[in-house]
Amino acid sequence: MRYNSPLSLEEKLRFKVKSSNLNSITEIAFYKAIVNKKSPNKVAKMPKIRVALIGVGNCASAFVQGIEYYGNLKQEEEYVGLRNPRLGGLSPDDIEVVAAFDVDERKVGKDLAEAIFAKPNNAPRVVEVPVTGIIVNKGPVMDGVGKSTQNILQISTLPDANVAETLRAANAEIVINLLPSGANQASRWYTEQALAARCAFVNATPNFIASEAIWARRFEENGLQLVGDDLVDQAGSTALHKTLLELLSMNGVKITETYQLDVGGGTESLETLDRTRETKRIIKTESVESALPYKAEVVAGSTEYVDFLQNKRDSYFWISGVYFCNTPLQIDLKFSTVDAPNAGSVLFDVVRALRIAADKKLKGSIVPICAYAFKRPPKKMSIETAEKAFEKFVTED
């Protein structure tokens, strides 16, 4: 499903401009320009969405490369690989990275365009990124380095930046947490920095932040938005698993046992093996179980690390059940993806949806974004219900 197809957008805009239920002067100018068939860029450009990245790892690399890749395309029809070329009138080109933080000496002090390709990152290089002028700041290490990554990461000796102050100076509006999954303490610390700098916060990691009422309340009290936890993938193994189970059980098949096991090669797979195997397993198993209206033996989210796979991931699915007259069936499936690009399209949707939320003056945990884009939202919904809630949120005033 794509939101805001050109025709329905124009109809919606006519209504918006007529009823003047717009939130900001720039928004009114932008919409009026489209209704009057002028290029909005020539009349009034929507201010770019100013994003700060915590952790310049593989996901950050895919995100920054994606902004450049899609920004270079002339026609929207060329935007292959995006769920929503435009969302709320915004394209990926409307996203701008204004600050970034890491701890590795191969990234800290370097321009973001160089840092995203520095080792140990191994996300594929799909585009050349010109010098950005954004120098990666040093963040405090805290629990950002685990046992398994201590021989891989090379900690910079540069002094730690004042993170809240840097976010404020960069005029960042959204902070995206892309720390290693075991960095629980650091994730919470950066959440505090986002609050202090008055930024919305995206927790893409499997640490529990947006799903904890206390954080949602603090963001609400500060008039800011919070979304998370644990980003879903665009071509996600959990979604594929759940869809298969839903389809089978809807047709009367009784699933008795099922598992999904991953093998990957990025630093994050190593990290998962070492520090977050259990958390990941809980999140994914709970999520897959919710696809069945009855109890079955479910195991999902166990990860193995194979270094030569680089940033690739192989997911293995096994489903066993019975159908008519107790006849057995089995599915044995392998699904291969590359990890980092799998986060790009969903992150683009999250960032643009957060701009919409801010324009609507929403605060605290933004339930439709969380349910649509995260594996452990504060309120769980089926894939279909989450899709509908997100569409309604994006298109309705």
Residue numbers at the binding site for ligand NAD (CB under 6 A)? 54-60, 101-104, 139-142, 144, 153, 178-181, 183, 186, 204-206, 230-231, 233, 266-268, 339-340, 342-343
Q: Measured from the CB atom, is 63 or 393 closer to ligand NAD?
A: 63
Q: State the minimum distance, in angstroms, from the CB of residue 309 to ligand NAD.
A: 13
β-strand partners of 336: 314
Q: State the minimum distance, in angstroms, from the CB of residue 360 to ligand NAD.
A: 26
Q: Shortest Cβ contact with ligand NAD: which residue?
A: 57
Contact between 237 and 258 (Cβ < 8 Å): no
Q: State the minimum distance, in angstroms, from the CB of residue 39 to ligand NAD.
A: 34
Please report the sign of the dihedral spanned by the C-alpha atoms of residue 147, residue 286, residue 333, residue 321. positive
Q: State the minimum distance, in angstroms, from the CB of residue 36 to ligand NAD.
A: 40
Q: Measured from the CB atom, is 205 or 258 closer to ligand NAD?
A: 205
Q: Measured from the CB atom, is 4 or 345 closer to ligand NAD?
A: 345
Q: State the minimum distance, in angstroms, from the CB of residue 66 to ligand NAD.
A: 12
Q: Measured from the CB atom, is 50 or 275 closer to ligand NAD?
A: 275
What distance in Å separates the CA atoms of residue 107 and residue 57, rounded to the nearest whole number? Answer: 9
Q: Measured from the CB atom, is 363 or 375 closer to ligand NAD?
A: 375
Q: Measured from the CB atom, is 10 or 274 closer to ligand NAD?
A: 274
Tally of helices (H runs) and strands (E runs) in the chain:
14, 11
Helix 341-359 × helix 58-71 angle, to 10°: 70
Q: State the minimum distance, in angstroms, from the CB of residue 188 to ligand NAD.
A: 11
Three-class HEC string of 93-146? HHEEEEEEEECECCCCCCEHHHHCCCCCCCCCCCCCCCCCCCECEECCCCCCCC
Q: Which helix (H) or strand (E) holds 308?
A: none
What distance in Å separates the CA atoms of residue 253 and residue 273, rounded to the nearest whole number? Answer: 33
In the sheet with 297-305, reading across from the earlier edge strand, the strands are 297-305, 254-264, 312-323, 327-338
